[in-house]
Structure 1
Amino acid sequence: MKKYLPVLIATSLSLTGCADLLKPEVENLPGKEAMYKEVTFAQGFLLNGYTRLPGLSFNDVATDDAVSNDKNNAFQKVATGQWTANFNPADQWVNSMAAIQYLNTMLAEVDKVTWAIDPKAAQMFRDRIKGEAYGLRAFYMFQLLRAHGGWSGGGELLGVPILTKPQDTNSDFNQPRATFEACMQQFYSDIKQAETLLPLDYEDVSTAGQVPSQYAGISPEEYTRVFGQYSRLRLTARIAKAIRAQAALLAASPAYKTGTTTTWADAANYAGEVLKLIGGPDRLAANGGTWYDNRTEINSLGAGINPPEILWRGDASNSRNLEEDNYPPSLFGRGRINPTQNLVDAFPMANGYPISASASEYRAQAPYTNRDPRLQRYVVTNGSTMGPSNTVIRTETGAGNDAVNQIETSTRTGYYLRKLLRADVNLNPIGANEQRHYTARIRYTEIFLIYAEAANEAWGPDGQGTFGFSARDVIRAIRKRAGIGTTNNDAYLTSVQSQADMRQLIRNERRLELCFEGFRFWDLRRWSEKLTETANGIQITNGNYAVIPVENRAFAAYMNHGPIPYGEMLKWKALVQNKGW
């Protein structure tokens, strides 16, 4: 065979050419330099930051608000003792660090890109791109601090490595974690840059007077080209302000406050600044509590327009995934997320009193009568109707597949999820349909609740700061919208006078208003509250209602803060793990 090898090689060379055979093909992968003249390619570095924005996680399953009938649910494993640095469905490290790398690349190269031939337009594009990149980088810093910030064994509150330049093959990847405070200061700096460079909202302008002063001399048409409606759903100065309020609330909270300089007053002021833009509690969206099922509003969304409740959202599209996962089995769903009795008990009576109060008129054997209207809006209870045909859902013993633990897709708690679902989705194979949904990234109700919590801690229940409204004013508006206390002017809210009592009421309102939107998992931790509350359900037999334990929680005290990923700890000696992990 060896004597024929030269002949074979010569024949191959004659057929293919030396260059084709002996040199690797040039890959069709553009390098970083390609972005300088290819605007679409350059935009990809920024858009990577948008594509990584987190969606719904249903981490409520790892709290006292919900369980799942899916044995493989990752957050259920977390709640029952399997949370480790090597198994962490709440991890934000890889996703956020990757986003920051792309955003840093964008910031490093943005001035070299030919965004437009006209120099004025090119400068506006550079400003907008920079503003978006700074704002998104701050957002991902917030995600990292919430998921991975924590106390070291040495008693120092640590954040994550601060990376403000793109890393390459020559970079030192073995970077230590900066202090939580240093991370917050970097966060605030990035938010300030975003606020300076971005418009409050993306709107078309028609007159020279509408063009901001820093772009004086630029025509309305030129300004609209860059900062007009076409860019809606991207980051704005308004969104940046809201993200600042979110992060400040985290930093001021009990689990972090001794390691930061951010105060409750800071958080209240940042939230108040956002709310002042819309006019305060009087402008709380009347239908904001059912934003996910406001069908006419959702179906008519266009051109990136936000409903009054929504400050930042994802794009709207047709789907039925949420309904397939969470409708009861009688409606052809999997019944995955099961609200707990704990959450149901947190809803007050319609007169505003907690069910434990003597004035509530609560009856244990008629537990859903005269309750806060939000209970039926967010949770399917025994006897509720659901779906496009208003099917009655029966969860009592012997009532069929919707009853507790009847089949694999039955509820474990006696309750099914209603919130986030559109009731006009039909899963019946004969007439199955899809309906429009969107992800609410930031709701104004969340910002109102941030203000209420921080204002109460900073100034007490009735302190107004410089905004002209108090924590009590905000909570009154939220409860009034919910339909609470309409017959007695919410006497319970009036009776709450101390800061401590108002704190508990605000936290409960936050629990109810934001349930199943991914907040309680983090709220319990930043409040340093008990994580091991047993998840309970209800067993209804022959008209008798009995509370039953459904799932124990197995969280250790150190789990108030999440871990640094195990893989990162193996790779980089400079990293310090959070205490306990």
Structure 2
Amino acid sequence: MKKIMTVFVAALLLVGCDDLFTPAIENNKQVSDGLNDPLYAEGILANAYTRNPYNSQSFNDVATDDAVTNQTSNSYLKMATGSWTANSNPMDQWSSCKAAIHYINLFLSQVDQVSWVNTPIVNTMFCDRLKGEAYGLRAMFNFYMLQAHAGWTADGRLMGVPIVEEVETETSDFNYPRNTFDECIQAIYKDVQRAKELLPLDYENISSDAQVPEKYRNEGANYSQYNVVFGSNFRSRMSARIALAFRAKAALLAASPAFAEGSNGSWADAADYNGELLDMIGGASGLATQGNTWYKNADEINNLTGGSNPPEMIWRNGKDATAYALEQAQFPPSLYGSGQINPTQNLVDAFPMANGYPITDAPEYDEQNPYANRDPRLALYIVVNGTEMGTDKKIIDTSADNTSNNDGLNRENGYSTRTGYYLRKHLREDVYLSSTTTTGQPHYSPRIRYTEIFLNYAEAANEAWGPTGMGTHGYSAYDVIKAIRKRANVGIDNGDAYLESVKDNQAKMRELIRNERRLELCFEGFRFWDLRRWNMDLTEPAKGIRINGETYQVFNVENRTYSDFMRFGPIPYSEVVKFDALEQNQGW
């Protein structure tokens, strides 16, 4: 993909010329040149791939009650503390996604005319695959735009974004009105269906002609030709499974409380679309045993080759073989990191006891020994006072009273914690940093994990059919949550008595599912969107812990400044000013 993009950019920039100052216009690359230059044509689609919002980790958790940052210039910090406006929006997806959709539409207008290869049936397969990728990508970008910019207008309509499926040129009328939220959801579904019909579920090599899909086999395609087009070399591309995952995510959004009143989304649809993906891996029994530690499974990561996925991943970024930038940003100062993301006491309190009971319901919870006998995920995801960390098993001291300790609360070095906690999730602790030496380790980041789909299903199934209802699937919300907590070693010694106590209570199961989602997906960019789609309070102050000797005192670290209308993001101010057909969401 990088090679394709390089050629595409070079083709746009390089022109033949008679001399240095007078380019020969006839040698400028035009879109139509892609008809006889397949690499150039594919580069148009590659441009869309590069705009995936999840090509890197944003840590927008800083805008929620789950984290703060010690970076005073952080845009999410500014957003959460009162500087979020329609022309200053770090959550904006408008320009990038619209640009990606433009390139997709441009590609779709040309793809059937491009000569990809000389063999007709292979040319047909290439054309089908690339069209399928384009439709899947357009569904993805429309989902991200909808999530960021859908909202209620002043006259009480739930609106989405403009649906653009034709090529725009310099003569186009760009003054489009917004489509309704429902129309946008249906456009996503339609594109996913097109992708499903054209793409394989996954890109894998086959070994016999009998495995070639009938529509191609009847035209004379053999398995070698099929592998050239749909084989394992394309594992990182949009596939039918990935496209179906975006349909599942869109269905959950449409059924959520913030959107349900103005849409036709249903919890049953959301459960079924997410369940369709889970049925492919055996339902609740298909939960990856190491899925909650994907970021530090060294053997698993080291053995990822050729775009292959571990069991937890539906789609992932490429592997960086010797990375250490994340550790430099997030390790505590004593490990030569900048400690940028600081989990809050709010999030720490959300982790139950090891027996599965919330700390508010557990008599054994000790406020002056708060990390004893807790959910093991707390130690996996968050550095607490006394954590052993790094290759040298250094004990991290986050206390406030040890002034010689660079890791302590609010030290003057600018890199210490503001909450009494540091981030542990995502980090490879076999990375070594010092003032003179760095030793990196392989990393990758997820775009879509199966754990998200399991939690999507649990939420939707509980709302549609109750905690133990299964619909047309062979497992319930209860079954999924039981599997997730068992994987985390929660409630192992008592049969998860807390889960058993709530399995007949839809409201309590809802609360538990939302909390499990908060824990399992923390620091992966979900909390902000989840709070909004649940119509929950965005203004919960971010809290920390001040440790002096044996005394633990909770304190407010940072207030959250959001108005009620901010449950729905704005249309960019620059767009509303330019195009009077665009209606702004109420309040912005």
Normalising by structure 2, we get a TM-score of 0.94
Question: Do structure 1's residue 536 and structure 2's residue 543 form an aligned pair?
Answer: yes
Q: Which runs of 4+ in 1 moved over 2 A?
A: 19-29
1-structure distance, mates of 2:484, 2:26: 58
User: Cα deviations across residues 424-448 of structure 1 (Å, max 9, x unaligned)?
Assistant: 1111134311111112000000000
The runs of 5 or more residues in structure 2 that have no matched partner are 1-17
* Aligned amino acid, residue 37 of structure 2: E
333, 338, 342: which is aligned to 2:346?
342
C-alpha change, 1:392 and 1:164, in structure 2 (3 Å) is same
The equivalent residue for 1:297 is 300
2-structure distance, mates of 1:424, 1:260: 48
* Aligned amino acid, residue 415 of structure 1: Y
* Aligned amino acid, residue 141 of structure 1: N
Question: Do structure 1's residue 491 and structure 2's residue 497 form an aligned pair?
Answer: yes
2-structure distance, mates of 1:130, 1:60: 35
402, 410, 428: which is aligned to 2:407?
402
1:22 is displaced (CA, Å) by 10
What does residue range 95-494 of structure 1 map to in structure 2 within 5 Å? 95-216=96-217, 217-317=220-320, 318-357=322-361, 359-399=362-402, 400-406=405-411, 407-494=413-500
C-alpha change, 1:274 and 1:360, in structure 2 (3 Å) is farther
1:360 is displaced (CA, Å) by 4.9
* Aligned amino acid, residue 543 of structure 1: E
User: Cα deviations across residues 474-504 of structure 1 (Å, max 9, x unaligned)?
Assistant: 0000000001011001000000021110000
Question: Do structure 1's residue 35 and structure 2's residue 37 form an aligned pair?
Answer: no
Q: In 2, are the aligned partners of 1:351 and 1:360 still within 8 Å (CA)?
A: no
2-structure distance, mates of 1:456, 1:25: 65
* Aligned amino acid, residue 474 of structure 2: G
* Aligned amino acid, residue 124 of structure 1: M
Q: In 2, are the aligned partners of 1:153 and 1:578 still within 8 Å (CA)?
A: yes
The runs of 5 or more residues in structure 1 that have no matched partner are 1-18
1:166 is displaced (CA, Å) by 1.3
1-structure distance, mates of 2:430, 2:363: 34
1-structure distance, mates of 2:399, 2:83: 32
* Aligned amino acid, residue 334 of structure 1: S
Aligned residues: 562
2-structure distance, mates of 1:416, 1:22: 56
The equivalent residue for 1:51 is 50
Query: Is the partner of 2:375 in helix, strand or coil?
Result: coil
C-alpha change, 1:356 and 1:199, in structure 2 (3 Å) is same
Range with greater deviation from structure 2 (479-488 or 317-326): 317-326
Query: Is the partner of 2:529 in helix, strand or coil?
Result: helix
1-structure distance, mates of 2:20, 2:83: 53
Q: In 1, are the aligned partners of 2:317 and 2:447 still within 8 Å (CA)?
A: yes
Query: Is the partner of 1:64 in helix, strand or coil?
Result: coil
1:29 is displaced (CA, Å) by 3.7
Q: Which has the larger radius of gyration?
A: 1
C-alpha change, 1:124 and 1:392, in structure 2 (3 Å) is same
1:56 is displaced (CA, Å) by 1.3
1:23 is displaced (CA, Å) by 6.1
* Aligned amino acid, residue 159 of structure 1: G
1:128 is displaced (CA, Å) by 0.3
Question: Do structure 1's residue 565 and structure 2's residue 564 form an aligned pair?
Answer: no
1-structure distance, mates of 2:530, 2:26: 48
Query: Is the partner of 2:539 in helix, strand or coil?
Result: coil
Query: Is the partner of 1:255 in helix, strand or coil?
Result: helix
Query: Is the partner of 1:129 in helix, strand or coil?
Result: helix
Identical amino acids, percent of aligned pairs: 57
2-structure distance, mates of 1:349, 1:537: 19
Normalising by structure 1, we get a TM-score of 0.95
User: Cα deviations across residues 152-194 of structure 1 (Å, max 9, x unaligned)?
Assistant: 0010001111100110011101111111111111111000000
User: Cα deviations across residues 107-154 of structure 1 (Å, max 9, x unaligned)?
Assistant: 111001001100000000010000000000000000000000000001
Q: In 1, are the aligned partners of 2:192 and 2:244 still within 8 Å (CA)?
A: yes
* Aligned amino acid, residue 35 of structure 1: G
User: Cα deviations across residues 24-76 of structure 1 (Å, max 9, x unaligned)?
Assistant: 54386410011001111011111112111112111100000000000001000
